[in-house]
Structure 1
């Protein structure tokens, strides 16, 4: 039996995940719209044999641009450029099911999968913020309605990817038959949210389906992940929380006829790395001293859905009601953290500055590897979503110092297993749902 191996994704965000990264001398904030910056990051991640790189996205300007370097590039466009600069690493982008149409999304990801030779992945989100809704002239849909739409959206997209069977393209110059049209199918989908005839006007993706990733941890989000997702990006602060989430989500797969190894759970971790523990703590302190408290309060207010601008920084977080339609899982994570550790507002915004609720681990490469190994071997993770606090140096530190430590412990690959993202994640290539239903041309 093959030894279980870690899976590592590099979450790329501007010049780093720490909110003060742009002020640190290790970064160049002018590069957040420079394609060469992201190509360099992708090549660093590929040098470390990481499974994939991931670009988050939202359909509104996140946060306060006065105090943070915001305004990056549209992720699918950017990933097409990264595909030409790399050979092996997976390319995952966030696209919303709330403010898009299935045909557009199916075609774009099929195209990226072709361009990259089978390395595309889709991080599926339902867009929880009011700011995004207002950019489309609508009111934010209710939480359940967003997930109902997302489920039908996924059904339509995967049908569109399946609408060309493998082998539909003949390319027979002698006969003049470019395609076997009995293997290209209309959908005639008529549902509550969508009416789509099909077929897709892009042939079947190399992976069959680009990898399906999901990042919601609410009850609706977990059920959606159990039904559709093949990798989950999540946030937990403690090992016990990680183990509980892992066991809960894996236990839901059976009701959809799925096995536990068909879904990879990848918690976020922001590693602050130094050659010594003192050096790592010094970098953490440098970043903390660059935090602008007003910015942190506004960010926290957005997460919690309550204006905290008048609350004293050195007093405990006040009682706040849970959101009805906002980011429910992140609200719980942040409020649980504040209550469990009795953090003042100032301490809380400092803790969130590094990873927005994801775990921050500060130490030597060996100490970071210890934390990764503990979660991996204790039933809390199949791998990790690596969120460097500063870029590119934070990613270089992880690749050049933590990855070799994980390889030496036999936890991580030395070479890629295959050419596609699915092969490297150890996931099967799905067959077209139409494969057995259509007559095969002689």
Structure 2
């Protein structure tokens, strides 16, 4: 496999080494030296909170209603969000039927189908989709994302995942799930193949000269002929090079192999630190790994997930959180805890601490570590843990627009993030609060854009367009 040759230039909106962008404030002044937040919205499911669909005024069918989803993405685009981010599942969640019947994540649109539709009702916002390296093939992934990038005029992003749900294996002709280390080994090679396929054609390969009858210059077509430990793919890809060169690469995972994969490949990292100190540690670690891999640390954006609940007062915001959490049934809660642990927790004593002799698991390592840390740090019983995981156990900013803006600015200034992946508590009201209250406050402070400065997702994130590794410009 040829060594990657990365582009050094930018598309006119990269912030360079400083990571600082000068943006006009509402009074026309330009703040100097202020770093800018990046904001993506986690939208599949439309809320990660189990009780979201039951909240008063919420759209119960929001995950599978195109009209609602179109309104959501338009609202996010009007608020100048970087991207609309869709996770994905390749199986119905592995939980008992008594819990499953209470879940709003059972059905959802397939990401590429939905994002292709949404690309036609938006102009600027990025479109990020999860696609598994465990249960798909590189040619499929390369072709789908190249197509989405062309359909959207350069707004596609690929969230690389190694599927952690063991139930998925049974939907793809396998009795057992691939081992954790093997999944990451395949993922690393998978990335090389996909990006190699995106570079199958030089940007100017398609001449389309009607007079001469020459459509394609064959000297500007590359056949990959990849033969590796995990994959064999001939190529070339049967679609022109994507508008962005490569769709933006997103990676989600905090385990040791996940961090290394992110450092070597990702341009945005979706992660789930529990607090600012752990976020700073993760941020520094991945950025340092990226530099050791020969990359520019500013070409990798760390975007922790955060649930945002806004009230006119701190008390009102907390009341919303309590109301939301109260809508989660214990059957669902204990199943969510089981998924996070990778082990059946239904037989544990609800009012005792989590057992210390849990068996090893082949599911997500970082999720399991998070459960054990939370249980130890807060001395929670199984019932309390289940309640937390049954609703939303991740980082949450709950308060007024001012207090949440303060916290987001603090994380940015202290090296905990480059922005956030915003998860919404319920829709549409939770989205309206973020778009109409929080975003204007961030703009007023000069730490979030007033308008898009470009048209592609790379523009929004300040990322260079990669050079074609086989047809670098001279």
Query: 2:162 touches 2:183 (CA, 8 Å); kept in 1?
Result: yes
Aligned to 1:377: 413
Q: CA deviation at 1:151?
A: 0.9
Query: 1:304 touches 1:320 (CA, 8 Å); kept in 2?
Result: no
Aligned to 1:425: 461
- Asked whether 1:5 is paired with 2:41, we answer no
- Asked whether 1:86 is paired with 2:122, we answer yes
What SS class does the counterpart of residue 95 from structure 1 fall into?
Answer: strand
- Per-residue CA deviations over 1:194-245 (Å, capped at 9, x if unaligned) read 2211111010100000000000110000000001000000001111101111
Spell out the pairing of 1:205-220 with structure 2 (5 A cutoff). Answer: 205-220=242-257
Gaps of 5+ in 2: 1-17, 22-34
Q: Of residues 73, 84, 93 in structure 1, which corresponds to 2:109?
A: 73
Aligned CA-pair RMSD:
1.5
Question: Aligned partners of 1:184 and 1:98: how far apart in 2?
Answer: 28
Q: Of residues 312, 317, 321 in structure 2, which corresponds to 1:284?
A: 321
Spell out the pairing of 1:375-414 with structure 2 (5 A cutoff). Answer: 375-414=411-450
Gaps of 5+ in 1: none
Structure 1 residues 320 and 89: CA distance shift in structure 2, 3 A: farther
Q: CA deviation at 1:324?
A: 4.3
Spell out the pairing of 1:15-414 with structure 2 (5 A cutoff). Answer: 15-62=46-93, 63=95, 64-69=99-104, 70-138=106-174, 139-321=176-358, 323-355=360-392, 357-414=393-450
Question: Aligned partners of 1:299 and 1:374: how far apart in 2?
Answer: 31
Question: Aligned partners of 1:262 and 1:16: how far apart in 2?
Answer: 29
Q: CA deviation at 1:15?
A: 4.6
Q: May I ask how many residue pairs the two structures share in their alignment? A: 437
TM-score (norm 2): 0.89
What SS class does the counterpart of residue 132 from structure 1 fall into?
Answer: helix
Query: 1:322 touches 1:328 (CA, 8 Å); kept in 2?
Result: no
Bigger mean CA offset, 169-178 vs 119-128: 169-178
Q: CA deviation at 1:347?
A: 2.3
Query: 1:406 touches 1:412 (CA, 8 Å); kept in 2?
Result: yes
Q: CA deviation at 1:135?
A: 1.2
What SS class does the counterpart of residue 465 from structure 2 fall into?
Answer: coil
What SS class does the counterpart of residue 106 from structure 1 fall into?
Answer: helix
Question: Aligned partners of 2:428 and 2:44: how far apart in 1?
Answer: 10
Q: CA deviation at 1:320?
A: 4.6
What SS class does the counterpart of residue 145 from structure 1 fall into?
Answer: helix
Q: CA deviation at 1:436?
A: 4.0
- Per-residue CA deviations over 1:115-158 (Å, capped at 9, x if unaligned) read 00000000000101210111112121111111111111111100
- Per-residue CA deviations over 1:11-59 (Å, capped at 9, x if unaligned) read 0134522101111122122342111221111111111101001011011
What SS class does the counterpart of residue 100 from structure 2 fall into?
Answer: coil
Bigger mean CA offset, 216-225 vs 22-31: 22-31
Query: 1:163 touches 1:186 (CA, 8 Å); kept in 2?
Result: yes
Bigger mean CA offset, 218-227 vs 21-30: 21-30
Query: 1:54 touches 1:92 (CA, 8 Å); kept in 2?
Result: yes
Structure 1 residues 266 and 31: CA distance shift in structure 2, 3 A: closer
Q: CA deviation at 1:389?
A: 1.1
Task: Give every structure 1 segment of 4 or more consecutive aligned residues whose post-TM-superposition deviation is greater than 6 Å.
Answer: none
